[in-house]
Every structure is written in structure tokens, then in C-alpha cells.
Structure 1
Amino acid sequence: MLCVETIGKIRRRGLRDGESISGLARSLQLSRNTVRKYLKDGVEPVYKRKPQAGPQLGPWCGRLDEWLRGDGLLPKARRRTARRLFECLQAEGYAGAYDSVQRHVRQWKIEAGRATSTKAFVPLFFASGDVAQFDWSYEHVVLGGTTTTIKLAHFRLAYSRQMFVVAYPREAQEMVLDAHNRAFAFFGGVPRKVIYDNLKTVVDAVFAGKERQFNRRFLALASHYLFEPVACTPASGWEKGQIENQVGNVREWLFTPTPRFADFAALNAWLATRCRELGARRHPTQDATIAEIFALEQPMLQPVSMPFDAYIEQPLRVSSTCLVSVDRNRYSVPAEWVGKVVSVRISAHGIKVVAGGELVARHERKFGRNQLICEPWHYLSILETKPGALRHGLPFTAWVLPPAVEAVRAHALKQLKGDRAFAELLLVARETGLGALDMACQLAQEQGHLNTSVVLNELRRLTSPPRASLMETPDALVLLLEPVANCARYDELRGVSHV
């Protein structure tokens, strides 16, 4: 098929200048039939792409088809994109171009009947510092040697495209609150609006149009950071299309293949680092990197004065075993609150128990089921009436004490009424601290006595307040003439002689 420029030459020289068909054929190195054809009807060329030979990709086509068939058996969310397949081929030695892989993947999907139709959308515009978008996704990682499904909170500034992601064990309201704290700290500010799906941890009720009843605790977060929450129209994900695309991109860039980490802390540290590194990519609509545009957007964000106290609160009654149940796990509370209602504040990483306006217990949050988290100090007051609990009480049998204290305990429990004597030591140590008790036990060991009375004596000696030193009298206050005892002076003052 001739190009448009050559066809134009044939028609100008033949029809306008009167050049013969044979002369045109010789000068343009074409057949006379071809020249005659274009002089007659001037057919406009129709271009068809010839099948590409793909010399670089050829040896890898079998491997690529094998991966595509294998990915076809996985859920859609876990299938690799053409870009990710290209990177996997590069890791095995492929030196060709990405375009060849992309064409092969597209053709394979068409032949397999998996090609999707393209929908039409309206382009959106967001001002600098105006809008961020939020969404959740689930991913698969290996944590501590075990394959785990995690929940990933996604944030994206709509103007600069700067993203932030953080992982949690589940999608709960306290996780949503904590994720906002982390995201705004990462961005160094707060946008004026944040766009959400109608997720239950944010929206309590959906009304007609854009009317929503937001969750009260979530509204407290929005009021603290001074941003306006905006909920999408149901089934209209295009209203926050950037974050929808980010979910797929992050899965491709960060979670394919499945990464491995020791725990959530290591995973989230790596995610924050990768979010900064991905800022080096080119901005899709501006001639700069995402990091450069983000640096321009940052001053437009509202400043963060202090983080929000990201917890949800539940009133719970303390059981007879000094426990409250949170998310199918049980946590201990001081024994004096048994049978009473306390306020339990649940955050993404901890449990706080507030009673009488004071913080009475604090625990690291555990995930899973049927775990018992006991603090032995919470049960010490029970030992006053039940010292035998030292022998078989779970909080005390699992209590890891310093070696010197453990030696005194083992010696005491072998003696008659030794459990009561050791309980007295612990009750005193509740005020003085375990460090002082450990020192007292070490001093008793040095003396060759593990008796609890010796330890108690050393403990009281260590913790007793120091004696006040004698005050030295200043020279100005020293008496020059010391008074002499003389009872007659009293009579002189009275003016009467006394016999």
C-alpha cells in the first residue's frame, strides 16, 4: 500500500503535468498497473498493521502464555498486569521492549474471550490542597512465616497524586481513625475535603442524593482536623477514580509477588518508604514528578496541630475474674473494679481502661481469638485474702520475675505459709516497684538468706526516706550570753515574794 505522499505525486504529475504512465512508473519504480490504478480513481490508502515478528519476545512467548493461563485461574484481584508480567520476564532474562509484551497479552486476552470493553467517563479537575480520596483493599502477605490476608488503607492527594498506604489486620473504625492520623502525618497537612465510599465505619445511613448520616466518632475526627467528608454516589466509583486505580497499581507494584515481613511494624515501615520512592514517577498531567508537584501542594494543606485520639469507646462490666472482653479476647482490670462498669477505649494498637475518671489499665492489643492477657499487678489485692492463688493462679504462674525474686519465691513456696509471706512482699512491692524488690532479693542472696522476712527488712531499708541532716546554726544566730536558770527572776517580775 502506497503512502499518501506518493499517491499525490502520481496524480499531480500524471493529471496536471501530463506525464506518461510509463515515465511515472520508471521514475517512481512502480508498476504501470499501480500508476494506472491511482490515476483512475485516487483510492485513499487503508493501513493495516502487519503481524510483528517479535524476535526478542519469540523465545519467551511460551513462558508468557503459561503465566497468563495460571493467572486466569486466580481471582481477578490477584492477576498480574502486562507491566508486571514484563517485569517478571525481565527478571528471568528478557531484554526486549514492553510494547511487545503488551501486544501479546492483549491478543491472548482477545483470543481467550477476556478482553473488556472501554467505558466513557468525564475528566475531573481538583485544585491544589483541595481533595484527597480514601479506600480499602485486601492484600496477601507472609507475616512471621504465615500467609495472611491484610486490610490496606489507601489515601491519595487528587492534585499531586501523592499516595499513602498503611496495613491493618482488619477493617474496623479504630483502624480508619488511626489511618487518618498516619496519612496526615505523612502528608504534613490535611486537605479541605476527603472522598469516601459509603463504608459502614464512616457512614451510618445513606439518604437521597448526597445526604448522609456520618458516624459520630468519625465526625469528631473530621472536626478535629477541619476537613469536610464527602461520600460518593452508590455504585459510582468513577467519582474517586484515582484511588480505584491506585488499588490495582499498588497490588501490582508492591504485592506481586507476595512480600514477606516479620510483623505489621516492618510491613508498614516498608510501605511508607515505597510510597516516597514511587513519588519519583512522572505526574500523568504535568511535566514533573509526583514528588515535585507534591512539594508544591504541601503548603496548601491545612497544618496538623496534634493527632486525633484515635479510639472507640465501649462501656463494659468487669467479670468476677477481673476481665473485660474485647473483640473475642480478654484483658485484665484491677480487682477493685470487679462487677463495676468501666469505659474501655479501643485503638488500633492498644486497650485502655478508664474508671472513675482515671486510667486504671493499659494493654497492647491482641488479634485473633480466645487470648487471655493478664497483668499480675491487677490481682495483688486478692492475695490479701487468697494467698494460695500464688501457686496455681494463671496471672502468677505465667509471671516472669527477675531471677533473684524468682529464687526467693521458690524458697518461700516450699515453707509452711510461705505463700502468705511472699504475698506480703508483693503487696509492699506494689508501692515500691519491682526494681526495689529485685534489689532487696539480691542483697538477701548475698547474705545467704532467702527468708522473706530478711528480704522485707532490706526492702524497707532501701525505700525508707532518708533522715534529715542536722542543721548547722549560722554565726549570726549563735547566743553570746546563754540564759541561766534562776527561779527568783519570776518572783521579781511578779513583784511579790513567794515562800
Structure 2
Amino acid sequence: MGRRGPGGRPRRTAQAASHRQENIRRLVSERGYRGSYSTVQRHVREWRLARGAGAGGGYLELEWAPGTAQVDYGNFEAEVAGERLRLKLLVVCLPHSGARYAVAGRSQRAECMCAGLASIFGWVGRAPRELVLDNATEAGRRVRGEVTESHLFSLFRAHYRAGSRYCNPYSGNEKGAVENAVGFLRRNLLVPVPRVGSLAELNALLREGCDRLNASSRARDGRPTPEALSEDLASMLALPSAPFDAVRWVRCRADKRGVVTVDGRGYLAGPAWHSRELLVGVRAETVEVLADRGRRVALLPRAFGDGPAVRNPLSLVPALVARPRAFGESVIRRDMPEGLVRAIDSLDARGRRRVLRAIGRAAAASGFDAACAAAQGVLDGGRVPDDATVDVLARRIASGALGEAGGADLSVYDGFLRGGGDRAC
């Protein structure tokens, strides 16, 4: 009986069917075969038995050199910030000592895998001399003995000076240690379903659990894992002084709203960048949009699955400064305090432009929320905000200075806001 996944369903059914179809196509195109696939299966089984494959089959016991790591993925579920998520468990096992390490992520795309491996290497304090993976990962593929690695993973390996070897995903014995580790860690650390406030909290729990299990485990030769782990560490490589930036760069053309689409999800660069070709850097947790000469257009959180375009309200400000009358229907209103929205609505086009420009410039240093709070404070004082005043107040709000007891006497700001008329825009 083959290995089965959740619910008793056979694993990798789709991949197996694809292999069968490919074999059938080759038989037809190369040999002109017209029979059934089951006839071929019976012939292969009888051929193997006749040549002694039945007697000489089975699995050989493998001995793994210190410093070698096996890598694999598993699936699990967790409740993160009240939302039930299907997550990926990246597991690294050192088969010589039996030490196991795991991190959770949203995807197993190349940038997520490299970021996860870099996190584990930093945790261990050394980098493996060789990584053993299978063709199911996004690191690379071995087809008829020839390996083709992804560009990002090749850069990752070069950064850490690690070698790589790829196994057949259907030959679990080639990296059985890590396949066993995936199930072991799920049963011992992820049952019942974890409930955490963030992915960082979940990974902290996984790290604590792995360290605890490694301290009480034993290597295959019976020695305590910590004792055998010292041999692994002695054979592993020192970490580079600079961290690896696990980023996948793609070129995208923004649509008429200034939205670029990466991996099926939209990210708002801003209306000012509509119909432009932009360079997008995709990382495990962020998406960075660059224009010509490397100018950063937007830095947005990474999103997975279907959903609305991910946006940063600050990216809308330049277009609203140019067209202040559009503020009445802009989605940026949802990101501002209600009092600030009402105050801006009461202004003419010139006043709106001045407020929005001051918010945009102050937000670059202090953040959008602090800039909005500063602009609202100035408006509540009876004055249309200017760049300098909003910037000073936003910096104090962002630093927490406005809430500190015994701080500066802020009544001076009230006097400043009441004085003089507005300067020309």
C-alpha cells in the first residue's frame, strides 16, 4: 500500500498520472505501441522478477557524512490572528546527528524557501556543506540525470558555498530522515492546531520545540543528538558576514490604475505609474516596486491567494495632490481618521492640495498614521497645515514624545497655529 495523505487519499496522484501519460506518449511516438498501459505494467513486473529485481530490491541502509542536510516541505494548518491558514512547514534535518529544524511560511516559492533556509542556518550558526532536496521543491529539477536549478537558489547556494543534490520525489529512502522528521514535528509540535497572534510567534514556538526535541533525541548510532551534532557543526561552513537577500525580481506593466500583478495578486504602485513597466522585487514578506534608476515606488506586504489589490495609502497621495477634487471619491478616505476626512472635505481645491502634500512629505519620515494625526491636529487648531508644521508634529507623534510626562510645553504650538495667515502654496 502506498503512502497516503490526509483523509486516506493517495499522495501525489496527479504527478503519478502525469508520469503515466508521458510514458504512454513515448511508447506511442517512439515504438508505435497500440496496446494498454496495464499490459506494459505486467511486462515490466515480470521482466524485473526474471532479472532478479525482486530478490535484489528493497532499501539499502545509507550512512550520511557530517555536515550534510536534507530538506523537505510539509503542509499543516494554524490559526493566526484569528484566521485559519494553510501553511508550509520547511524542515531541515541533519541525518548524521538526527537534529531537526523547522520554520513555517505561507508558500514554498523559491524566495520563501531561501528565506526559510537562511533563517535556519542562522539558528544553527553554520551552513551545511551539501543540501539534499527533491524535485518537488522550487530549488531545481533533475531530468534524465541533468539538473536545472532556479536562478535564485543558485545565488543562495553560492552565497553560502553549499553543494546540492536532487532526489526523485517518489524515492523516499533517498532522504528518509527528513521525510520522517516532517511527520514527527507535525505530530509533536503542531497538534492540536496552534493558535497564535502572528507567524513570528508561531516560528518562535517551533524553534523552542525543535530545540527541546533535539536535546532529548538520539542519533542513529545511539548517541545523544547533542553529542553527534558537534560533529555536524565541525563539518559545516561558517556563515557569510552579509545576510542573503532572498528576492525574486520580475518586470511587470502597471494597469491603468497603477496596479502590478505578481503571482496572481495585484499590488498598487500608484495611479501616477499607470501603464508603466516597473521592476518588482518579491520577497517572503514584502513586495517592492521600483521605477527607472532604482527609485522605490512602493513597499507593500506580501499577500497570498485571491483578494483585492494590496495598497499603501501613501502611494495614492501624489495623484491626489495633482487632482485634489478626486479626494471625495478616493479609497484613501478609508485609511484616514473621520475627523480629518471631514476637515479636508470642507476645504477648497487649493487647501486640499496643501494638506495632502504636507501629509505625503511628513509620512516619508514618520509614517502615514502619524502624518494624518499631525495634519488633523493642525486643522483642529484652526489653520491649514503647511509642510514644516506637519512634519515637526508627525515626528513627535511617531517618537511618542507627545505622550511623555514632563516633556516640552506644547502650548507653544497652539500659539504658533493661531498666529499669522497662511503662506502662499
| Structure 1 CA distance for aligned equivalents of residues 171 and 63 of structure 2 | 17
Structure 1 length normalisation: TM-score?
Answer: 0.61
1:399 aligned partner: 335
Which structure's relative contact order is higher, taking Cα pairs within 8 Å and 6+ residues apart? 2
2:225 aligned partner: 290
Selected match of 1:122 from 41, 56, 60: 60
Asked whether the 8 Å contact 2:98–2:217 carries over to 1, the reply is no
| Structure 2 CA distance for aligned equivalents of residues 400 and 212 of structure 1 | 52
1:195 aligns with 2:132: yes
1:186 Cα deviation after fit: 1.4
1:347 aligns with 2:283: yes
- For the structure 1 residues 292 and 389, does the alpha-carbon distance in structure 2 shift closer, same or farther, using more than 3 Å as the test? farther
1:169 Cα deviation after fit: 2.3
- Aligned counterparts, 1:247-326, within 5 A: 247-305=182-240, 306-326=242-262
2:21 aligned partner: none
- For the structure 1 residues 431 and 121, does the alpha-carbon distance in structure 2 shift closer, same or farther, using more than 3 Å as the test? same
1:456 aligns with 2:394: no
1:380 Cα deviation after fit: 2.3
Structure 1: stretches of 5+ with no match in the other structure? 1-70, 79-118, 464-499
- For the structure 1 residues 379 and 212, does the alpha-carbon distance in structure 2 shift closer, same or farther, using more than 3 Å as the test? same
1:413 aligned partner: 345
Q: What SS does structure 1 have at the residue aligned with 2:354?
A: helix
Asked whether the 8 Å contact 1:192–1:301 carries over to 2, the reply is yes
| Structure 2 CA distance for aligned equivalents of residues 206 and 460 of structure 1 | 60
Selected match of 1:148 from 80, 85, 88: 85
Aligned AA (1:123) = E
- For the structure 1 residues 132 and 409, does the alpha-carbon distance in structure 2 shift closer, same or farther, using more than 3 Å as the test? same
Larger Rg: 1
| Structure 1 CA distance for aligned equivalents of residues 122 and 391 of structure 2 | 49
1:431 Cα deviation after fit: 3.0
Asked whether the 8 Å contact 1:437–1:459 carries over to 2, the reply is no
- For the structure 1 residues 443 and 361, does the alpha-carbon distance in structure 2 shift closer, same or farther, using more than 3 Å as the test? closer
Aligned AA (1:136) = Y
CA shift digits 1:61-115 (9 cap, x unpaired): xxxxxxxxxx99943799xxxxxxxxxxxxxxxxxxxxxxxxxxxxxxxxxxxxx
| Structure 1 CA distance for aligned equivalents of residues 152 and 271 of structure 2 | 30
1:337 aligned partner: 273
Asked whether the 8 Å contact 1:316–1:324 carries over to 2, the reply is yes
Aligned AA (2:314) = W
Selected match of 1:235 from 170, 186, 189: 170
CA shift digits 1:442-495 (9 cap, x unpaired): 35634xx2x42xx339738969xxxxxxxxxxxxxxxxxxxxxxxxxxxxxxxx
Selected match of 1:167 from 101, 104, 118: 104
2:352 aligned partner: 422
Asked whether the 8 Å contact 2:271–2:319 carries over to 1, the reply is yes
Aligned AA (1:344) = V
| Structure 1 CA distance for aligned equivalents of residues 217 and 170 of structure 2 | 30
Q: What SS does structure 2 have at the residue aligned with 1:150?
A: strand
Asked whether the 8 Å contact 2:90–2:104 carries over to 1, the reply is yes
Aligned AA (1:422) = R
Asked whether the 8 Å contact 2:355–2:375 carries over to 1, the reply is no
Selected match of 2:8 from 67, 72, 75: 75
Asked whether the 8 Å contact 1:436–1:462 carries over to 2, the reply is no
Residues 260-269 or 194-203, more deviating: 260-269
Residues 230-239 or 349-358, more deviating: 230-239
1:337 Cα deviation after fit: 2.6
Over aligned residue pairs, what C-alpha RMSD do you find? 3.0
1:224 aligns with 2:159: yes
- Aligned counterparts, 1:10-49, within 5 A: none
Aligned AA (2:117) = H
Q: What SS does structure 2 have at the residue aligned with 1:279?
A: helix
1:381 Cα deviation after fit: 2.5
1:287 Cα deviation after fit: 4.9
Selected match of 1:245 from 180, 188, 195: 180
2:405 aligned partner: none
Q: What SS does structure 1 have at the residue aligned with 2:335?
A: coil
Structure 2 length normalisation: TM-score?
Answer: 0.71
| Structure 1 CA distance for aligned equivalents of residues 301 and 278 of structure 2 | 18
1:133 aligned partner: 70
1:227 Cα deviation after fit: 0.6
- For the structure 1 residues 72 and 387, does the alpha-carbon distance in structure 2 shift closer, same or farther, using more than 3 Å as the test? closer
Asked whether the 8 Å contact 1:132–1:157 carries over to 2, the reply is yes
- For the structure 1 residues 430 and 304, does the alpha-carbon distance in structure 2 shift closer, same or farther, using more than 3 Å as the test? same
1:485 aligned partner: none
1:11 aligned partner: none
| Structure 2 CA distance for aligned equivalents of residues 366 and 313 of structure 1 | 16
Aligned AA (2:277) = V
| Structure 1 CA distance for aligned equivalents of residues 107 and 174 of structure 2 | 25
| Structure 1 CA distance for aligned equivalents of residues 390 and 192 of structure 2 | 61
Asked whether the 8 Å contact 1:197–1:232 carries over to 2, the reply is yes
Aligned AA (1:413) = D
1:362 Cα deviation after fit: 0.4
- For the structure 1 residues 230 and 258, does the alpha-carbon distance in structure 2 shift closer, same or farther, using more than 3 Å as the test? same
| Structure 2 CA distance for aligned equivalents of residues 282 and 457 of structure 1 | 62
1:366 aligns with 2:303: yes
| Structure 2 CA distance for aligned equivalents of residues 421 and 249 of structure 1 | 63
CA shift digits 1:303-333 (9 cap, x unpaired): 1113221121110011221211223332221
> Identity, % of aligned pairs?
24
Asked whether the 8 Å contact 1:388–1:420 carries over to 2, the reply is no
1:204 Cα deviation after fit: 4.2
